[in-house]
Structure 1
Amino acid sequence: MSRHVAIVTDSTAYLPPRTMERHGITAVPLTVVLGDRALEEGTEISTRSLAQALQKRRSVTTSRPSPQVFAETYRKAAESGASGIVSLHL
């Protein structure tokens, strides 16, 4: 098991996928509520689709990830060998 420092942020960091992959950064998705649908940013709704909905003046709200979601992400990082975790919220 290799020891490393895990980097965790939320999807509002909008880091390029190549940068995230190269540095092993994990993004926890924000919840985007579009009309009556709750979607995970980056997996169930793209940034582009979100921007288009806003341009069309559709009802859009967001909710930050819950502490439990971050805790689960940290647990997985520790189980994969992380000796420390840096949590960035930009």
Structure 2
Amino acid sequence: MATTSQAVADAWRTIATVATLPWWTVAALSAAAEAYESQARDWSLRTPRPAPTPYPRAQPQPAPDDDPPAPLVPQPTNGVAHRAAQDDPVFWPNT
């Protein structure tokens, strides 16, 4: 908030430098810049508060009577691929 207030004050001061503005507009812009500079000082003196932490979300828990999922194991098929891969330990790691 302090940086935003200072940026607004700087913008008002920049606008006030336009040479063709009437004196009363320059006075109003200068007053606005002073107000935003004061606000920036006030905000910079405040102690920063840590950001609030969101509440942790509850993780779904399996019911006590649920069985754990069965591991994925290749299912044997009838055919040449099955007979060729029967003795392959990479193809059948759980056997």
* TM-score normalised over the length of structure 1: 0.23
Structure with more relative contact order (C-alpha pairs < 8 Å, separation 6 or more): 1
Q: Which has the higher strand share?
A: 1
* TM-score normalised over the length of structure 2: 0.23
Radius of gyration: which is bigger?
A: 2
